[in-house]
Amino acid sequence: MGQILRRLALVARGWQLAILVAALLAALAGCGGGEQETAEDTEQEQLAEEVELSTFIQRTDSLRWLSYLSFSPQDTALAYVMVAALFLSNEYPRAALHYLDRAALYDLDRSVIYLNMGYAYNMLGDFEKAAESFSMFVQRDPGSILSQEIFRIVEKYRAIASQPPQ
């Protein structure tokens, strides 16, 4: 089961990684329109600083990616998903969950949020929450090529959870 999850994460991470970094940076760039600094501006500045200080991406790439996106709540959600994907790929599931929760505030229907949440909870060993998150992914994107496999994983989690302890 772990091997399947790793494969699913690699598939999801592969296509979303570059897009999500660009989304993050564009969303961060578009949020500082006023003179007064808001709590959200401060949070986004901290997020930008975390990304800059990380070994995940280069600053020169960050500046180039800023011009790729428009400014909307969906882009902000995508930005948070990207940061979460970076943390997941570097095996920081708790940090990833923080950013995935933020992404869900901006775009509840984005299925990849719940796919990544399930993967993060699986990394933490919280299989009940992993199954719940994977189920939410399947509900939001039943036509996805991953949905059938995710459904099987959820059923395995539930079967394991229903077995009495030995």
Which pLDDT tens digit goes with each residue over 10-20?
A: 444 443 444 44
**Residue 141 DSSP class:** -
Classify each residue of 13-52 as buried b or exposed e, where b means 16 or more C-beta atoms within 10 Å of its C-beta. Answer: beebbebbbbbbbbbbbbbeeeeeeeeeeeebeebbeebe
Average pLDDT over residues 14-42: 46
pLDDT in tens, 65-106: 444 444 666 677 888 888 888 889 888 999 999 999 988 988
Q: pLDDT tens-digit profile of 105-137?
A: 888 889 999 999 999 999 999 988 998 999 899
User: Given this model, what pLDDT does residue 14 score?
Assistant: 43
- Give yes or no for residue 63 having a pLDDT over 50: no
Lowest-pLDDT choice from 19-23, 94-98, 152-156: 19-23
| CATH class belonging to 2-162 | mainly alpha
- pTM score over 0.75: no
Q: Which of 40, 56, 21 is nearest to 102 (CA)?
A: 40
- Evaluate if residue 50 carries a pLDDT over 50: yes
Q: Where are the domains of the chain?
A: 2-162
